[in-house]
C-alpha cells in the first residue's frame, strides 16, 4: 500500500479531528465499564474505539507526511459557497420544521434552493417547487401516511374537511 503523495486541502485537519474525536470516544468507552470483564458492556466499544484511535493516528501521520497538492482550495473544491449555503438552508429547515410546520417550511425551502441553484426565473421556481410539493404531500401524506409536523397550518382539519366532502358525496 503506497501512501498518497499529496493531500487535499483540509484533509489534514479532518484527519486531526477524527484522531481527537476517536480519543474522546475511547475515553468515553473506558468510562462505560473499564477493564471490569471481557464480557462487560464496555468491551466492544473499547475495542472499536481503540481501533479507531490507532487507524486515525496512522492516517494522520501519513496525511501529515504527504505534501499539500497545491491544486485544491478548501472554499472552492471542498466546501464551495453553493454547498455551504445549501447546508445552512438545510439546518434552517430542520430548525423551522417543528414550530412552523411541514408545508410552509418545505415550500420556502424548495423555492429558495431551486431558485438559488437553477438561476431561472421566479415563475419557473415557484411553479416547480409548488408542483413538486403538492406531489410529495399527496404521495407521502396520503399514500405512505407519513405524519409531518403541522405547525401553523391546520392541515389535519383541512384533510378531514376534504374527506367529509367525499364521504358526503357517496
Looking at residues 23 to 82 of the shown chain, list those that interact with another protein (rule: CB under 8 A): 25, 28-29, 32-33, 37-39, 41-45, 48-49, 51-52, 55-56, 58-59, 62, 78, 80, 82
Instruction: Kindly tell me which of 32 and 153 has the beta carbon lying closer to another protein.
Output: 32
Instruction: Kindly tell me which of 87 and 164 has the beta carbon lying closer to another protein.
Output: 87
Looking at residues 135 to 164 of the shown chain, list those that interact with another protein (rule: CB under 8 A): 136, 140, 144-149
38 φ, ψ (degrees, to nearest 5)? -70, -25
* Contact with another protein (CB under 8 A) among 20, 91, 130, 138: 91
* Contact with another protein (CB under 8 A) among 64, 120, 157, 161: 120
**Cβ neighbours of residue 125 under 8 Å, at least 6 residues apart?**
111, 114, 115, 118
- CA–CA distance, 66 with 57 (Å, rounded to integer): 14
DSSP output for 32-80: HHTTS-TTSTTHHHHHHHHHHHHHHHHHHHHHHHSEE-SS--IIIIIS-
**Cβ neighbours of residue 40 under 8 Å, at least 6 residues apart?**
32, 33, 34
- CA–CA distance, 45 with 90 (Å, rounded to integer): 32
- CA–CA distance, 14 with 21 (Å, rounded to integer): 10
Number of residues interacting with another protein: please give it, by CB under 8 A: 62
* Contact with another protein (CB under 8 A) among 16, 23, 66, 128: 128
- CA–CA distance, 84 with 120 (Å, rounded to integer): 20
Instruction: Kindly tell me which of 62 and 153 has the beta carbon lying closer to another protein.
Output: 62
Residues forming contacts to another protein in the complex (CB under 8 A) are 1, 8, 10-11, 14-15, 18, 25, 28-29, 32-33, 37-39, 41-45, 48-49, 51-52, 55-56, 58-59, 62, 78, 80, 82-83, 86-87, 90-91, 93-94, 97-98, 102, 106, 109-110, 113-114, 117-120, 128-129, 132, 136, 140, 144-149
Amino acid at each position: 500500500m503506497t501512501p498518497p503523495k499529496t493531500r487535499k486541502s483540509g484533509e489534514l485537519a479532518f484527519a486531526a479531528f477524527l484522531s481527537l474525536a476517536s480519543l474522546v470516544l475511547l475515553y468515553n468507552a473506558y468510562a462505560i465499564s473499564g477493564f471490569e470483564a471481557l464480557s462487560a458492556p464496555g468491551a466492544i466499544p473499547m475495542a472499536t474505539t481503540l481501533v479507531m484511535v490507532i487507524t486515525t493516528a496512522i492516517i494522520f501521520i501519513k496525511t501529515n507526511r504527504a505534501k499539500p497538492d497545491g491544486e485544491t482550495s478548501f472554499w472552492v473544491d471542498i466546501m464551495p459557497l453553493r454547498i455551504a449555503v445549501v447546508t445552512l438552508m438545510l439546518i434552517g429547515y430542520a430548525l423551522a420544521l417543528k414550530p412552523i410546520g411541514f408545508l410552509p417550511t418545505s415550500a420556502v425551502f424548495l423555492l429558495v434552493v431551486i431558485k438559488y441553484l437553477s438561476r431561472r426565473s421566479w415563475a419557473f421556481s415557484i411553479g416547480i417547487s409548488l408542483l413538486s410539493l403538492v406531489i410529495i404531500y399527496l404521495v407521502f401524506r396520503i399514500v405512505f401516511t407519513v405524519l409531518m409536523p403541522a405547525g401553523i397550518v391546520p392541515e389535519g382539519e383541512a384533510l378531514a374537511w376534504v374527506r367529509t366532502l367525499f364521504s358526503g358525496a357517496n
